[in-house]
Structure 1
């Protein structure tokens, strides 16, 4: 039984006339009738009761008409969904992100992607940067938004955004009255930072900036989310150096000040296994670059 035979049967079942049915599909009547007889032979049942005056559906024919319509509709759905999957418009996309990147452009990327590709199920996974590389190469993640620098064998990393660092300090701190603070003047200040095993790129960049300014940061507290880091700063436990976009958190008791003599930059990157992401991942990648470009 072929889809073409079912299509022809539906036509004759609707017309109840072989001549009109054949004309409707652009066929001569003899080969049209032959296809219907072949279908009946393959099924081993009579689908149409024929007389010289009329054609009528048998009970088996009525049942097949209902099922054939459903089958052809399902076939069309399958074709559509398969083609959508090939274009990256359906399926599941697993995106990892480090806590150190969970503000600024990331919410914009997610919103844009969900608006444009609503049929793609987006799963967002918060994890330490050190675990991201393995998750990408094993297929546990399709993409990841991470803080640079980041390297892992078999993983492609592309820069999304590069921004300056700022000093976050309690609003009541004496240096809060300054519009810009020299990094070299913070040698004796306590710092709150991400632990290195959570955000090695960010941790190493901040530490290197301090070393270049002539001191090693005195880290008194560590936290694995920006909300916690800024909360500790607000409580007066220490200062932190954060990307300028961290101001989007809008903490009440924390102010951000420009840093003088700070050599480093905060870089946000997108990473994926291999050289070319899957179709759905390629869409997410394009949306990420577009959203990041609007913030440059």
Structure 2
């Protein structure tokens, strides 16, 4: 029994006339009738009663008509769904997102993507200790947005955003009234940073900037997310160097100030396995570049 035979059977079962049914599907009547006979022979039952005046469904034919309609509809649904998955319009998208990147682009990006592709289920993986390169290479993630520099064998990396660093310090700090603060003047200040294993690119960039300014940062506290880092700064435990987009957190007890003598920058990158992302990941990738390009230029503000 083939789908084509079922389509022909449904046509004659609905028309109850072989000539009209054959014309409906664009066939001559003799081969049309032969296909129906062949279907009956394969099933070993009579589906239609035929007289010179009328065609009628047998009980078996009536039952097959219901099932045939459902089966053909299901076939259409399957074909439509498979094609939509191939176009990235439905399915699942697994996105890795490092805690060191969790502000600025993420919220707007996810909202944009869900609005444009509501039938794609977005799963955000921001667990501590996530090794994005391994997860991408093994297929555990479809793409990731992390702080650069970032590289992993077999993974394509694209830059989304470059930001300058700003200094985050408590509002009651003596330097909080200044608009621009030399990085070299922070040699004896306590620092709050991400642990290196959590954000190696960010950690190394901050450390290198401080070393270039003539000192090694005195790290007194570590935290795995920007809200936690900024919260520790607000509590007076230390200062931190943060990408300018961290100002979106807008903590009451923290001010952000421009730095002088700090040539380094924070880089946000998008990564995916292989030379090309999956269809849904390709849509997310395009929106990520679009969202990053629309971000306003951040300036240090209180």
Report TM bin, short chain.
Answer: over 0.9
Shift of the alpha carbon at 1:24? 2.1
Q: Return 9-18 or 226-235, whichever deviates more.
A: 9-18
The residue number in structure 1 matching 2:151 is 151
- 2:47 match: 47
Question: Paired residue for 1:83?
Answer: 83
Write out per-residue CA displacement over residues 39-72 of structure 1, whole angstroms, 9 at most, x where no aligned residue.
1111111111111211111000000110010011
1:98, 1:129 within 8 Å by CA — same for their partners in 2?
no
**Distance verdict in 2 for CA 1:213–1:87, change over 3 Å:** same
Distance 1:144 1:228 in 2: 22
Alignment of 1:253-272 (within 5 A): 253-272=253-272
Q: Which residue of 2 aligns with 1:252?
A: 252
Q: Does 1:214 align with 2:214?
A: yes
Which one is further off, 18-27 or 72-81?
A: 18-27
Q: CA RMSD in A?
A: 1.2
Structure 1 residues 200-209 or 19-28, which shifts more? 19-28
SS in 2 for 1:269: strand
Does the residue aligned with 1:169 lie in a helix, a strand or coil?
Answer: strand
CA distance in 2, matches of 1:52, 1:274: 66
1:130 to partner: Cα distance: 6.7
Trace 1:3-152 onto structure 2 (pairs within 5 A).
Answer: 3-128=3-128, 131-152=131-152
Local SS of the residue matching 1:238: coil
- Give SS of 2:88's match: coil
Residue 26 (structure 1) shift: 2.5
The one-character-per-residue Cα deviations of 1:186-234 (angstroms, maximum 9, x if unpaired) are: 1111110101011010000011111111111111111001111000000
Give the structure 2 partner of residue 177 of structure 1: 177
Cα distance in structure 1, aligned partners of 2:155 and 2:129: 13
TM-score for both structures, normalised by structure 1: 0.97
Q: Distance in 1 between matches of 2:99 and 2:26?
A: 63
* Deviant stretches of 4+, over 3 Å: 127-130
The unaligned stretches of length 5 or more in structure 2 are 298-302
Once the 2 structures are TM-superposed, how far is the Cα of residue 129 of structure 1 from its aligned partner? 6.8
My pick for the range that moved more, 212-221 or 276-285, is 276-285
The gaps in structure 1 that reach 5 residues or longer are none
**1:136-155 per-position Cα deviation (integer Å, ceiling 9, x unaligned):** 11111111110001121221
Q: TM-score, normalised by structure 2?
A: 0.95
Between the two proteins, the alignment pairs up a number of residues equal to: 296
Contact preservation (8 Å) 1:210, 1:216: yes
Q: Aligned-pair distance for 1:110?
A: 1.2
- 8 Å CA contact 1:190–1:217 kept in 2: the answer is yes
SS for the counterpart of 2:13 is helix
How much does 1:20 deviate? 1.7
Q: Which moved more, 1:131-140 or 1:61-70?
A: 131-140
Deviations 1:106-149 (A, max 9, x none): 11111111111111111110145771111111111111110001
